[in-house]
C-alpha cells in the first residue's frame, strides 16, 4: 500500500485530470477548491458551486472535509458556513474511495437525495418536509442568486473583503481606545 501522502498526490492529480476545475489554496496538497455543477434531474441543475476541500493528514483513511463556498439551500448544508453534514461522507467513507468519487457520487447523491431528518439547515429541512414544491422553488431561487459561474469566480473575493473589514474593525478599535483616553 502506498503512503497517505503519495495517495493524496495521486488522487489530486486524478481529480485535476478529470472534468473538474481545481484551484490549490497554497503550496501544500491538503486544501483546494473545486468547481462543482449541480446534478441533472435536480433543482440544483444549472448551478455552479465552489467547493472547499480539506484533506486530513490521515487521508485516505479519514474522509475529506467538504464545504460550499457560495450559498446553497439544502437541509444537510449549513447555510452560513457551507459545511456539509459530515455523516453523509463519513458513514460511507472507505480508503477505496478517492476525490473523484466525492464529486461524481457523494455530492450529487447529497443534492439528489437530501436527508431532512438529520439537518444542518433546519429551515430547509422543515420546508422540504412540509411543502416539496416550495422547497424546490427556494433551491432554484438560491441557485439563480448565488450559483452562477460569476458567483464561483467571485466567491474568493468576498472572503478577501471580509478580511479587509476585520482589519478595519481592528483599526477602528485602536481609534476608539485613543479617543477614549482623554475622557479618563
Tell the residue number behind the cell numbers 480539506, with chain if given. 54
Chain centre distance of CA 105: 15
Contacts by residues 34-42 (CB-CB < 8 Å, ≥ 24 positions apart): 34/103, 35/152, 36/103, 36/107, 38/111, 38/143, 38/147, 39/108, 39/111, 39/112, 41/112, 42/111, 42/112
CA angle 158, 170, 178 (to 5 degrees): 155
Of the candidates 36, 32, 31, the one whose C-alpha atom is nearest the C-alpha of residue 74 is 36
Phi, psi of 33 (to 5 degrees): -110, 150
From 53, 85, 124, 139, the catalytic residue: 85
Distance from the Cα of residue 37 to its chain's centroid: 12
Q: Is 85 a catalytic residue?
A: yes
Phi, psi of 28 (to 5 degrees): -75, 175
What are the catalytic residues?
Answer: 85
Amino acid at each position: 500500500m502506498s503512503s497517505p501522502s503519495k495517495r493524496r498526490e495521486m488522487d489530486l492529480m486524478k481529480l485535476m485530470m478529470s472534468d473538474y476545475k481545481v484551484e490549490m489554496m497554497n503550496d501544500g496538497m491538503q486544501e483546494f477548491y473545486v468547481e462543482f455543477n449541480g446534478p441533472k434531474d435536480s433543482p440544483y441543475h444549472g448551478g455552479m458551486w465552489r467547493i472547499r476541500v480539506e484533506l486530513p493528514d490521515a487521508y485516505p483513511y479519514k474522509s475529506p472535509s467538504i464545504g460550499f463556498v457560495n450559498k446553497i439551500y439544502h437541509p444537510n448544508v449549513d447555510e452560513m458556513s457551507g459545511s456539509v453534514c459530515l455523516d453523509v461522507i463519513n458513514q460511507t467513507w472507505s480508503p477505496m474511495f478517492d476525490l473523484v468519487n466525492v464529486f461524481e457520487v457523494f455530492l450529487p447523491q447529497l443534492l439528489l437525495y437530501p436527508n431532512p431528518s438529520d439537518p444542518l439547515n433546519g429551515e430547509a429541512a422543515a420546508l422540504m418536509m412540509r411543502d416539496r414544491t416550495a422547497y424546490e422553488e427556494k433551491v432554484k431561487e438560491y441557485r439563480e442568486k448565488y450559483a452562477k459561474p460569476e458567483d464561483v469566480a467571485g466567491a474568493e473575493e468576498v472572503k478577501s473583503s471580509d478580511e479587509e473589514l476585520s482589519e478595519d474593525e481592528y483599526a477602528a478599535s485602536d481609534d476608539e481606545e485613543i479617543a477614549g483616553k482623554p475622557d479618563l
